[in-house]
Structure 1
Amino acid sequence: MPYSKFSSVYDEVMDHVDFQEWANFIIGSWKENKLPDKILDLGCGSGTLLSHFPSSINTKVGIDSSLQMLETAKKKYPKIQYIQGDIIYFSLKEKFPLVVSTHDTLNYILQPEKLITHFQTVNKNMELGGYYFFDLSSEYNLIHNFHKKQLFYNIDSVKLTWRNTYNQKRKVITSTLIFSIFKDLKIQKYRETHYQKFHPHSIILKILQKTGFSLVSIGSDYKTWTLKKDCCLINYLAKKIKEIK
């Protein structure tokens, strides 16, 4: 299962990410005069991004399907509220003015109908007039940075080999993660397989319109609200403009 073993080295593999810059970019895109008092992070992982949002945001909630990732999050950032669940189907007691989903989380949703369901679910758990900030891995990123490439990491007693293949017809990248764990003079090997799908901008626009959102801005790599051809993560800011049933 994805992130069962990856959770143990996830933060080290992602140490190149400037989460403070990401949080600043997201908050900088907030269109209201007063900062939101609540934020919901879908696919929150180890909770690192949530921890970088201003302390004036009283309620920080993260949802993730990986129990192992949430166990790490609870140890690192115990003041944040965590929920183990599916980001396609969830129902919360309160509604949020700001919802975020980052670092290609939505690329893990492979079926278009499930992506539609996800946005419907987000709508139902958001305040009217609230904002949904999310990113998607670009096809440029999948082809130029991952396709037919192997990545290697040595972290403490863990050796990670990460192999990637992108199917341009299906728009799906298959990532095979092989973990070699050295313990008590023995080597234990584990394998995880991750599948992610590239979702074209035209599809995202149709889904937003269908699920009660309007697109406010589209940008690149948490740096600019201009879409660049060679960006890796496409940033979206959408506003909930109507309730849906």
Structure 2
Amino acid sequence: MGELYNENLAWVYDEIYQGFIDYSAEYEFYKYLCNDYNCNRVLEIACGTGNLAKSFTSDFSTYVGLDFSESMLNIAKEKFPAGNFIQGDMRHLNFVKHFDTILITGRSTSYLLNNTDLKKTFKSVHNALEDKGIFIFDCINANLFISYIIKNSSVVHKSTYNKKQFERDSYWVKNKNNNYHLIDWKSTYYQLNDSEKKVLGEDSTLFRVFSIKEITEALQHSGFNILEIKDRETYAFDTNVYICQKK
């Protein structure tokens, strides 16, 4: 996990991503899936700065937002003081009461860099779900993304939020690790004022993209049935959304 989620840059994440992502549409996407499977008690893993939390809290009987980053959670609590936020690791969930639905949002599976962590997470989610509980998460599609970065080793994304203009310049290359689809990603974040570009910070991270075969095998190993796989485009990545059920 890179610097973007730590104290110095967490506020940049919060503002720039609200220009990248339509969080109202993002919430409606997950709400539709949850309603389709009669979900009521929701755990959102990787809730970040809480951009979905208020909506989930309003519409569902239980909502808990979990994130690994204390800096991100501090912003979430400031924006939505009534929210139920906790710090935790998706690989080691520890809840007394089980949920009927667990989400991993924001393509945060990308930080599960090896199969051990992937299976630990899926097993941890399995243990935190009630019988026949629903597990929904998204992954960056390896085949599409790697083909893209071979042709586009750098890309610029612009964002406008709260009358501020931002820019993210990204540079990515496939990591030389032959066991997994790992990507080296470097980004520089700017705030734009007229013709001036002010550097807000830099981030360098390693993340993982997945084939459907990799995810399917890990889910089967961890005790899940796949109910649906949806293809979904986002502002920057082609993703697969998995809707699964605990066996």
* TM-score, length-scaled by structure 2: 0.80
Q: How many residues align?
A: 229
Deviations along 1:24-78, whole A, 9 cap, x unmatched? 2223224767x43321011110111233336231321111111111111111122
Which residue of the partner structure matches residue 208 of structure 2?
197
The percent of aligned pairs where both chains have the same amino acid is: 22
Taking the aligned partners of 1:100 and 1:30, their CA distance within structure 2 comes to 10
RMSD between aligned alpha carbons? 2.9
Moved more, 119-128 or 158-167: 158-167
Taking the aligned partners of 2:159 and 2:126, their CA distance within structure 1 comes to 41
Query: Does structure 1 residue 208 correspond to structure 2 residue 242?
Result: no
AA partner of residue 33 (structure 2): S
**3-state DSSP class of the match of 2:52?**
helix
Displacement of 1:17 in angstroms is 1.7
Displacement of 1:175 in angstroms is 1.3
Pick from 19, 26, 37: which aligns with 2:23?
A: 19
Which residue of the partner structure matches residue 246 of structure 2?
240
Structure holding more helix per residue: 2
Report if aligned partners of 1:42, 1:101 keep a CA contact under 8 Å in 2: yes
AA partner of residue 162 (structure 1): S
Report if aligned partners of 1:151, 1:162 keep a CA contact under 8 Å in 2: yes
Query: Does structure 1 residue 124 correspond to structure 2 residue 127?
Result: yes
Which residue of the partner structure matches residue 66 of structure 2?
63
Which residue of the partner structure matches residue 78 of structure 2?
75
Moved more, 188-197 or 79-88: 188-197
Which residue of the partner structure matches residue 195 of structure 2?
none
Deviations along 1:100-159, whole A, 9 cap, x unmatched? 012210011001011001000001111111101100011213542695114365885987
Taking the aligned partners of 2:24 and 2:36, their CA distance within structure 1 comes to 21
Which residue of the partner structure matches residue 153 of structure 2?
148
Query: Does structure 1 residue 103 correspond to structure 2 residue 106?
Result: yes
